[in-house]
Structure 1
Amino acid sequence: MRLRQRGGLLLLAGLSVYIAAVVTLIATGHTMLRVSATDDDTVALWMTVLTAACGLAVAWLVPPKRRDDILLPTADPRAVQRQAWWLLALGLTFAVGFYLSSGGDLWFVGLKLLLLVAVPLLFRLAAGREWYRADTQGRWLRPMPAVLAFLALFTLFGRPYSGAPPDLVAVLAVFVLNALLEEIFYRVWLQTRLEATVGRWPAIVVTSLIFAAWHVKIHGGNGFGIDLAATFVHIGGYGLFLGYLWSRYRNPWLLFLVHGIINLPIAMMAAML
């Protein structure tokens, strides 16, 4: 079976997962999604879906500016495929390993640094010139309407917080460990290679589900099935927007910015511990 056909099957399977997750939550009455294991705050299902959908719609309406001076990266397609599947396996291993673990914050940080940073960097050293590089364009003006629309709705409907002001050290720590490292691994490394292997939307959908999967443990409380569905809709929806933002505009700094703002309440809670 050709890779593009596999991409179609992956896209169909991924969309089916999202639909099944929404139907499960509505059918079971779990339409208020818990935002974290550290507090009881919730966000409505429709608010999460609306926020992600509006961001995607605005990004779709504002196409990236064409640049004729960019030389697209070249690499052996077989090497790109190998890198994509190995990175996908690492993402799955991190999600499963973290969920099954009984360790605390140190275990979480260590596992993340090992599987999402250290091992991929070893792959990069071993790949040498075969390491597939993204054609980062660094455009800011055209993606901003989508970013502002998403952040406006996230601010209105997103994660509530009424605690103490954030501590700068906590904000920087959460930004580096979550926004920076996760966006480099899931979008810049993994999604880019999946796009080159199976196509844009299969890559975005699959990456968003893998990205969401590791959050099950920290957004839980209602049993594995409901927790998984809630995480796919909540975190996966944000992942769809981040993935499309990356695929359409290729500006990694916007990924860091949006992800950092999404995680800001986590930094606020960390400052209180």
Structure 2
Amino acid sequence: MRASIQPANAYTHPLDMAATSGERRTAWRRLCGFLALGIGLTLIALFVIKHVLKVQVDLDALSMRVLLVAQALQAVVMVVVPTAVLLRAGREPATCFGWGRSHRLRQLGIGVAVGAGMMILLLAILALLGVFSLGSPLLSARDALVHGLGYAAVFALTAIAEEGFLRGYALVQLSRAISFWPAAAVTSVVFAALHLTHATETPMAIVQAGMVGLVLAYSFRRSGGLWFACGFHAAWDFVQTYLAGVADSGMSASDVLMHSSFHGPAWLTGGSAGPEGSAIALPLTVLAGVVTHLVLKPRDA
């Protein structure tokens, strides 16, 4: 009987890599190292900002400049540095952790379209139900363009930080240790739990965040990259925060295009959490998962 030979250029999905018991132990060690480095650098940065530089930030109305600096710092200390260090230590390429160059622009574009489309659809449904009113533009054309570009950069950095931390290196190593779907569930629960740090979050919004986490983890499983997840995440936040000017995970920003308003029961409008805390957001998240499955080609070659 002839043994089958795998082609030299055969593609192995990062989240499907078979692991021996020794490789699983290695995955756990590297995961712990990644988390320790990312969390440690974040705590150091927060200490320096608060106690050395003595910077005070108004969380009720964050300016675009403050958000830009904060998200850039977060991306560097939570993702860029830890990932670079662990990649060098493990001698693995970035392509194994979702940052491959193949089809990145296509996946990013699809992610932006789906993320923006889902938030626009959510707001449109709430408007049709009579509980949401779109505001009028508050900025001049020049300011709208400048601030729009600024907020686009802010939410691009937010997506890189959050997706890179939870659904990049960490998801791959955890998948190697316990397989993909349990790993996706764990990282999604952590993603939802991080929203508990916002005092104005609601239980519905936290559940929805966990569901979105599963969808974005699946997008990595489906496509072999994080580009769709980053595009979806950034566009969802951009439409909600800048274009509509409403709360995003319970937090509002200043210098936005318009300030829209809600007028109805909190379970329908999302209450203090913003529209992503609406009961309507839950079935739309399921729809986003279906769309993700349909628009992303499986990465098997």
Number of the residue aligned with 1:259: 233
Distance in 2 (alpha carbons) for counterparts of 1:215 and 1:195? 23
Contact map agreement 1:179 1:263 (CA 8 A) in 2? no
Number of the residue aligned with 1:113: 76
Distance in 1 (alpha carbons) for counterparts of 2:38 and 2:202? 16
Contact map agreement 1:246 1:255 (CA 8 A) in 2? yes
Which amino acid in the other structure matches residue 120 of structure 2? T
Number of the residue aligned with 1:210: 190
Which amino acid in the other structure matches residue 180 of structure 2? R
Contact map agreement 1:174 1:266 (CA 8 A) in 2? no
Number of the residue aligned with 1:128: 91
Number of the residue aligned with 1:240: 214
Distance in 2 (alpha carbons) for counterparts of 1:271 and 1:89? 33
Distance in 2 (alpha carbons) for counterparts of 1:92 and 1:114? 8
Query: Residue 119 of structure 2: which of 142, 154, 157 is its match?
Result: 154
Instruction: Say if 2:142 is the partner of 1:195.
Output: no
Deviation, 1:272, is 0.5
Distance in 2 (alpha carbons) for counterparts of 1:97 and 1:242? 29
Deviation, 1:150, is 6.8
Contact map agreement 1:99 1:216 (CA 8 A) in 2? no
User: What number of residue pairs does the alignment pair up?
Assistant: 200
Distance in 2 (alpha carbons) for counterparts of 1:149 and 1:181? 20
Distance in 2 (alpha carbons) for counterparts of 1:91 and 1:188? 13
**2:11 counterpart SS class:** coil
Identify unmatched segments of 5+ residues in structure 1.
1-67, 222-226
Q: For each residue in 1:27-55, what CA deviation from the matched residue of structure 2 results, as whole angstroms up to 9, or x when unmatched?
A: xxxxxxxxxxxxxxxxxxxxxxxxxxxxx
Number of the residue aligned with 2:129: none
Residues 150 and 113 (structure 1 numbering): CA distance in 2 closer, same or farther, change over 3 Å? closer
Instruction: Say if 2:20 is the partner of 1:70.
Output: no
Number of the residue aligned with 1:34: none
Distance in 1 (alpha carbons) for counterparts of 2:41 and 2:209? 16
Residues 251 and 115 (structure 1 numbering): CA distance in 2 closer, same or farther, change over 3 Å? closer
Deviation, 1:117, is 2.9
Contact map agreement 1:95 1:210 (CA 8 A) in 2? no
Number of the residue aligned with 1:62: none
Distance in 1 (alpha carbons) for counterparts of 2:227 and 2:80? 18
Deviation, 1:148, is 6.9
Deviation, 1:139, is 8.8
Residues 147 and 109 (structure 1 numbering): CA distance in 2 closer, same or farther, change over 3 Å? closer
Number of the residue aligned with 2:32: 85
Greater length-normalized contact order (CA 8 Å, ≥ 6 residues apart): 1
TM value normalised by structure 2: 0.50
Root mean square deviation, CA, Å: 4.5
Contact map agreement 2:97 2:168 (CA 8 A) in 1? yes
Identity over the aligned pairs, expressed in percent? 22
Q: For each residue in 1:43-80, what CA deviation from the matched residue of structure 2 results, as whole angstroms up to 9, or x when unmatched?
A: xxxxxxxxxxxxxxxxxxxxxxxxx9314567844322
Runs in 1 of length 4+ with deviation above 6 angstroms?
Answer: 91-102, 139-142, 144-150
Distance in 2 (alpha carbons) for counterparts of 1:99 and 1:234? 28
Which amino acid in the other structure matches residue 258 of structure 1? F
Residues 90 and 153 (structure 1 numbering): CA distance in 2 closer, same or farther, change over 3 Å? same
**1:124 counterpart SS class:** helix
Query: Residue 272 of structure 1: which of 236, 243, 255 is its match?
Result: 255
Residues 98 and 205 (structure 1 numbering): CA distance in 2 closer, same or farther, change over 3 Å? farther
Structure showing greater Rg: 2
Number of the residue aligned with 2:3: none
Contact map agreement 2:27 2:173 (CA 8 A) in 1? yes
Q: 1 or 2, which has the higher helix percentage?
A: 1
Contact map agreement 2:78 2:165 (CA 8 A) in 1? no
Deviation, 1:138, is 4.1
**1:214 counterpart SS class:** helix
Residues 93 and 267 (structure 1 numbering): CA distance in 2 closer, same or farther, change over 3 Å? farther
Contact map agreement 1:79 1:130 (CA 8 A) in 2? no
Distance in 1 (alpha carbons) for counterparts of 2:190 and 2:40? 10
